[in-house]
Amino acid sequence: MALHAQASCPANAFTMVNEAINEAGSPRRLALVRVYGHGAPGSQNVSAGQAALDKHVTSLDPVSFQWALPLLIRLRPFFAPWGSMELHGCHVGHGKEGKWLLQTVADAVQVPVTAALWFQEAGRGQWTFDGPTVSTFPYGESLIGWSDAASKR
């Protein structure tokens, strides 16, 4: 059975990762991890306000990655072979900053990562994206290359 883990307002990325691992219980059980919070091109907040570039790992962004990447790597064995991750902050996937963030996270967790290009409505009990998204695959793979590799895991 695959699980859907959701991060809404944990203390920081450390707590988010631990909660996802605890929810999975054993390897290869996470189908989807969704992260909700404020965002900006190349930055997904996990538990902070609108500006949170800090060493407390309250966001996933270039400043926090020296602390956040080792945490995200811990998720690798818990994703199902066809698992994925979604970053639901506003504009997270936009521009070169967004592309860099998605590629860095996808390489860390070794599953596709999708993020919004536009503003995202919150508080409507909605589990989908508002408007267009962008997806990135581990190590710059295409969807076909990633799915072929995933089918062999």
Q: What is the dihedral of CA 92, 129, 78, 22, to 10 degrees?
A: 100
- Running DSSP on this structure, what letter comes out for residue 11? S
Res 127: pLDDT: 77
By CB neighbour count within 10 A (0-12 exposed, 13-18 middle, 19+ buried), where does 6 fall? Answer: middle
Res 146: pLDDT: 85
3-state secondary structure of 122: coil
Per-residue pLDDT tens digits of the chain, which is 153 residues long = 344 444 443 457 778 898 899 999 999 999 999 998 889 999 998 875 544 445 455 788 888 888 889 999 999 999 999 999 999 999 999 999 999 999 999 999 999 999 999 998 876 666 789 899 999 999 888 888 888 887 777
Token look-up 């900006």 returns 40
